[in-house]
Amino acid sequence: MPPSHYTGLAGQSHDQPAKAGVLLVNLGTPEAPTAAALRPYLAEFLGDPRVIEYPRWLWWLILHGVILRIRPARSAHAYARVWTAAGSPLRVGSEQLAQALQQQLPEARVALAMRYGRPSIRSTIEQMQREGVRRLLVLPLYPQYSGTSTGSVIDALADTFRQLRWPPELRIVNDYHDDPGHIEALARSIEQWWAAHGRGEKLLLSFHGIPQRYVDAGDPYFRHCQTTAQKLGARLGLDPTQLIVSFQSRVGREPWLQPYTDITVQQLASEGVKRLDVACPGFAVDCLETLEEIAMQNRDFFTAAGGETLRYIPALNDSAEQVASLAALIRRHAQGWPEFS
């Protein structure tokens, strides 16, 4: 017989009770803050056509001929600034969130996968199937939809399902940028932080950027970010002079979503703002982009331009507010399944 092209579960009993599973998916992380560990991680991440929409042959030359020769060492230095004894902040925080959600959702098997790096989406789904999961709800930990993030997760799911002999029933949370429970969790987090540390003169909401041409081509990400900011500002009672939206993490020379965070913090400092609070509502869990880029790099930009202190308000992480809001979101999307009835 010719070899099979499909992955099955040898010896699986069809009498095994079916279970529901919840798969959280975050971006991913290198295995260590070293250039050697960054190289394969960046190759997978930046090699994703959802992330970089260039002709494949041209981008392959740029990626392997230039970027992967230079960027791993630079990124390793940044990761080393936030790496902890427990490992990558994004992995540790995501694992803690998954564990907290498992306690809130005893009716389902909750697991975590990374879009890039380990644990992979495919290996995690295969493990969940071995445990009897036949109904799968996937929650990408990206509140705002973008083809570069949630769209890429959907691609990875499709690639995985294409190779499974008996794929589970599938549901996907496309986004939760305007979910009332999520907005309330963000607002309470900021209010609690203000109660403990005092309030700055302005609140900057910094979202991860994407190229402007992606939005021009139909990506809803910019609109989703603006909606999150508008609803959060209304809930906090902030007027347009108190709340500012910006976009971080741009690379390359083409225009990305604006205004840019690094330029914005410098401009605010030059205009006389002394105490600036920054939150990043696009990140469910703290990571390199929040802990190093915002809390370190942009803090330095702000003070160098004349500001006194830039204070980063942590992501929701595994807070009770985020766990409760995501558990409610999951139960709503899983309605009709026996485990959630």
Residue 162 sits in a domain whose CATH number is 3.40.50.1400
Pairing between strand 202-208 and 243-248? parallel
Is residue 13 assigned to a domain?
no
Full domain range(s) for residue 122:
19-177+322-340
Is residue 98 assigned to a domain?
yes
Residue 148 has pLDDT above 60, yes or no: yes
Please give the Cα distance from 324 to 306 (Å, whole number): 40
Q: 68 and 163, same structural domain?
A: yes
Q: 157 and 25, same structural domain?
A: yes
> Residue 84: how many CB atoms within 10 A of its CB?
9
Query: What ranges in the chain are assigned the alpha helix state H?
Result: 35-46, 56-62, 68-82, 89-104, 121-130, 150-162, 180-197, 212-216, 221-236, 261-270, 288, 299-304, 320-333
Handedness of CA 139, 142, 144, 148 (dihedral sign): negative
Residue 12 has pLDDT above 70, yes or no: no
- State residue 306's pLDDT score: 98
- Span 105-122, pLDDT tens digits: 999 999 999 999 999 999
Please give the Cα distance from 246 to 341 (Å, whole number): 41
Is residue 11 assigned to a domain?
no
If one counts the domains in the chain, the total is: 2
Is residue 317 assigned to a domain?
no
Q: 218 and 153, same structural domain?
A: no
Is residue 6 assigned to a domain?
no
Binding site per annotation, positions: 208, 289
| Segment 230-243 mean pLDDT | 97
Q: 170 and 273, same structural domain?
A: no
Please give the Cα distance from 186 to 281 (Å, whole number): 7
Residue 1 has pLDDT above 70, yes or no: no
287 closest CA partner among 330, 309, 262, 316: 316
Q: Is 242 helix (H, G, I), strand (E, B) or coil?
A: coil
Give one DSSP letter per residue of 9-56, joined into a string: -TT--TTSPPEEEEEEEEEE--SSSSHHHHHHHHHHHHT-TTT--S-H
Rounded to an integer, what is the distance from CA 185 to the centroid of its chain? 16
Burial (CB count within 10 angstroms: exposed 0-12, middle 13-18, buried 19+), residue 243: middle
Q: 170 and 55, same structural domain?
A: yes
Residue 103 has pLDDT above 90, yes or no: yes
Is residue 333 assigned to a domain?
yes
Question: In the sheet where 169-172 sits, what is the strand order?
Answer: 109-116, 19-28, 133-140, 169-172
Q: Which positions ≥6 away from 42 have C-beta within 8 Å?
A: 67, 68, 71, 72, 75
Q: 167 and 214, same structural domain?
A: no
Is residue 279 assigned to a domain?
yes
Binding site per annotation, positions for Fe(2+): 208, 289
- State residue 255's pLDDT score: 98
Q: 223 and 284, same structural domain?
A: yes
Q: 162 and 29, same structural domain?
A: yes
Residue 13 has pLDDT above 60, yes or no: no
Please give the Cα distance from 186 to 174 (Å, whole number): 19
Handedness of CA 47, 51, 56, 57 (dihedral sign): negative
Is residue 9 assigned to a domain?
no
Burial (CB count within 10 angstroms: exposed 0-12, middle 13-18, buried 19+), residue 120: middle
Residue 68 has pLDDT above 90, yes or no: yes
Q: 120 and 40, same structural domain?
A: yes
Average pLDDT, the chain: 96
Q: 170 and 46, same structural domain?
A: yes
- Span 263-304, pLDDT tens digits: 999 999 999 999 999 999 999 999 999 999 999 999 999 999
Please give the Cα distance from 181 to 320 (Å, whole number): 12
Q: 240 and 203, same structural domain?
A: yes
Q: 145 and 131, same structural domain?
A: yes
Q: Which positions ≥6 away from 233 have C-beta within 8 Å?
A: 240, 242, 243
- State residue 294's pLDDT score: 98
Are the C-beta atoms of residues 83 and 33 closer than 8 Å to each other?
yes
Q: Which positions ≥6 away from 266 have C-beta within 8 Å?
A: 301, 302, 304, 305
